[in-house]
């Protein structure tokens, strides 16, 4: 997986914008199958969000070859 580009949506269940955008984001993998599109719920994975410096919802993070390249 580290050889693929990965795009991560950090969301929260209480965030209305997150709830609206998550289904659209998840469908991107259908069109761009060579990339990974992952959704992380910060309420269930707080440690992951903290380790990535996420402090606002929604947050999108891009990784290339396992390295964070943009937010």
What does the pLDDT look like over 5-54, one tens digit per residue? 999 999 999 999 999 999 999 999 999 999 999 999 999 999 998 999 99
Residue 18 annotated in active site: yes
Cα angle vertex 5, ends 34, 48, to 5°? 125
Residue 15 annotated in active site: yes
pTM for the structure as a whole: 0.88
Tell whether the model's pLDDT for residue 3 goes beyond 90: no
Q: How far apart are CA 66 and CA 69, in angstroms?
A: 9
- Written out in words, the top-level CATH class of the domain with range 6-70 is alpha beta
Domain boundaries, the chain: 6-70
Q: How far apart are CA 61 and CA 69, in angstroms?
A: 8
Choose the catalytic residue: 15, 40, 42, 49.
15
Choose the catalytic residue: 12, 18, 40, 42.
18
Sheet holding 67-70, edge to edge: 36-41, 6-11, 59-64, 67-70
Confidence of residue 2 (pLDDT cuts 50, 70, 90): low
């Amino acid at each position: 997986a580290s050889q693929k580009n990965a795009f991560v949506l950090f969301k929260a269940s209480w965030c209305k914008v997150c709830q609206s955008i998550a289904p659209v984001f998840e469908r991107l993998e259908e069109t761009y199958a060579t990339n990974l599109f992952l959704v992380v719920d910060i309420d269930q994975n707080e440690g992951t969000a903290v380790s990535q410096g996420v402090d606002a919802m929604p947050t999108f993070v891009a990784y290339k070859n396992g390295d964070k390249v943009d937010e």
